[in-house]
Amino acid sequence: MRLPTRVLMADLTARRFTVEDRADLFQYYIGGAGVAISLLKEYCPVGADSLGPDNPIVFAVGPLVGLYPLASKTVAMFKSPLTGNLGESHAGGRSAVAIRSAGYGAIVIRGASESPVYLSIDDKGVQFRDASGIWGIASSVTTGRIIRELETGAGTRTIMRIGGAGERLVRYASVITETYRHFGRLGLGAVFGSKKLKAVTVSGNHGIEVSDRKLYRETYDDIYRRAVESPVMKKYHDIGTASNIMPLNLQKGLPTMNLKTTTSPDAERISGERLAENYLGRRVACAHCPVACIHIAALREPYEKEPYFYKTTMIPYDYELIYALGSMLGIFDEKAMLHLIDDVEIWGLDAMSTGVVLSWATEAQEKGLISQNETLGLNFRWGDEPTYAKAVEHIVKQPNEFYAALARGVDHASKRYGGEDYALAFGGNEMPGYHTGPVSHVGYLTGSRHSHLDAAGYSIDQAALKDKLPDPKAAAAKLLKEEAWRQILSSLVVCFFARGIYDKDTVAKSLETAGHKVAPEALDEKGMEILREKNRFKEREGFKASELRIPGRVFETASPLGKIDEKYLRESVEEFYRLLYA
Partner 1 sequence: MTRLTVVDADRCVGCQLCMFACSRRFGEGGLAKSAIRVRSAGGFERGFVVVACRACPDPPCMKVCPVDALEPRRGGGVVLKAGKCIGCHRCAEACPVHAVFWDDEANKPDICVHCGYCVGYCPHEVLAMREAEQL
- CA–CA distance, 175 with 33 (Å, rounded to integer): 18
* Residue 205 in contact with partner 1, rule: CB under 8 A: yes
Helix (H) or strand (E) holding 8: strand 6-11
Q: Considering only residues 217 through 236, tell me which ones interact with partner 1, judged by CB under 8 A.
A: 217, 220, 224, 228
- List 285, 474, 550, 558, residue binding partner 1 (CB under 8 A): 285
- Sequence-ordered list of residues with C-beta below 8 angstroms from that of 432, at least 6 positions apart, any chain: 320, 323, 352, 444, 451, 452, 453
Mode of pairing for the β-strands spanning 310-317 and 294-302:
antiparallel
- Shortest Å distance, C-beta 155 to partner 1: 3
User: CB–CB of 36/77 below 8 Å?
Assistant: yes
Q: With left for phi above 0 and alpha for psi between -120 and 50, is residue 11 left, alpha or beta?
A: beta
CA dihedral 63, 66, 70, 74 (to 10 degrees): 70
Name residues contacting partner 1, limited to 62-91 (CB under 8 A): 66-69
Phi, psi of 174 (to 5 degrees): -105, 170
Say if CB 256 and CB 263 are below 8 A apart: yes
Query: Segment contacting partner 1 (CB under 8 A): 154-162, 416-424, 479-487, 550-558?
Result: 154-162
Applying CB under 8 A, among 282, 367, 563, 578 the residue interacting with partner 1 is 282
Q: Please identify, among the stretches 32-40, 150-158, 383-391, 559-567, the one whose residues bind partner 1 according to the rule CB under 8 A.
A: 150-158
Q: Is 582 in the site for partner 1 (CB under 8 A)?
A: no
DSSP 470: P
- Closer residue to partner 1 (CB): 73 or 538: 73
Nearest alpha-carbon partner for 355 in 236, 437, 254: 254
Kindly indicate which of the ranges 127-135, 246-254, 287-295, 302-310 contains the residues binding partner 1, using the contact rule CB under 8 A.
287-295
CB 243, min distance to partner 1, A: 17
3-class SS at 444? helix
Using CB under 8 A, which of the segments 281-289, 324-332, 378-386, 570-578 binds partner 1?
A: 281-289
Q: Does 314 bind partner 1 (CB under 8 A)?
A: yes
**3-state secondary structure (DSSP) of residue 177:** strand
With CB under 8 A, what is the number of residues at the site for partner 1?
A: 42
Binding mask 230-269 for partner 1 (x = CB under 8 A): ----------------------------------------
One-character DSSP codes across 335-404: HHHHHHHHHHHHHTB-HHHHHHHHHHHHHHHHTTSS-HHHHTT----TT-HHHHHHHHHHHHH--SHHHH
CB of 65 to partner 1, least distance (A): 9
Among 133, 290, 377, 552, binds partner 1 (CB under 8 A): 290
Q: Judged by CB under 8 A, does residue 491 bind partner 1? A: no
Residue closer to partner 1 (CB basis): 282 or 381: 282
Q: Name the residues that contact partner 1, by CB under 8 A.
A: 66-69, 97, 100-101, 141, 144-145, 148, 154-156, 178-180, 205-210, 213-214, 216-217, 220, 224, 228, 282-290, 292, 296, 314
